[in-house]
Amino acid sequence: MAKKYNCWEEAVKFHGHACPGLAMGVRASEIALERLGVDRAKDEELVAIVETDACGVDGIQVLTGCTFGKGNLIFKDYGKQAFTLAKRSNGQGYRVVFKPLQFDDESKKIREKVFKGAATEEENQQFKRIQDKMIEQLLKGPVEEICTVNSVKINTLRKARIFDSIRCEKCGEYFMEPRARRQDGKTVCLECFEEYVSVKFK
Average pLDDT, the chain: 89
Whole-number Å distance between alpha carbons of 202 and 23: 42
- Please indicate whether the domains covering 8-104+130-153 and 162-202 agree at the CATH topology level: no
pLDDT tens, residue by residue, 170-190: 999 989 898 899 988 899 998
pLDDT above 90 coverage of the chain, percent = 64
Summarised one tens digit per residue, pLDDT across range 10-63 is: 999 999 999 999 999 999 999 999 999 999 998 999 999 999 999 999 999 999
Please give the single-letter amino acid code of residue 198: S
162-202: CATH, from 1.10.260, 3.30.300, 3.30.70, 3.30.60? 3.30.60
pLDDT tens-digit map of 87-108? 999 999 999 999 998 888 888 8
**110 — pLDDT class (breaks 50, 70, 90):** confident
Q: Which residue has the higher pLDDT, 186 or 200?
A: 186
* Residue 199 scores a pLDDT above 60: no
Question: For the chain, what are the domain ranges?
Answer: 8-104+130-153, 162-202
The class of domain 8-104+130-153 in CATH terms is alpha beta
C-alpha–C-alpha distance, residues 110 and 106, integer Å: 6
pLDDT tens column, 63-94: 999 999 888 999 999 999 999 999 999 999 99
- The 3-class SS string of the chain reads CCCCCCCHHHHHHHHCCCCHHHHHHHHHHHHHHHHHCCCCCCCCCEEEEECCCCCHHHHHHHHHCCCCCCCCEEECCCCCCEEEEEECCCCEEEEEEECCCCCCHHHHHHHHHHHHCCCCHHHHHHHHHHHHHHHHHHHHCCHHHHEEEEEEECCCCCCCCCCCEEECCCCCCEEEHHHCEEECCEEECCCCCCCCCCCCCC
For the full predicted model, state whether its pTM sits above 0.85: no
Q: Which amino acid makes up residue 1?
A: M
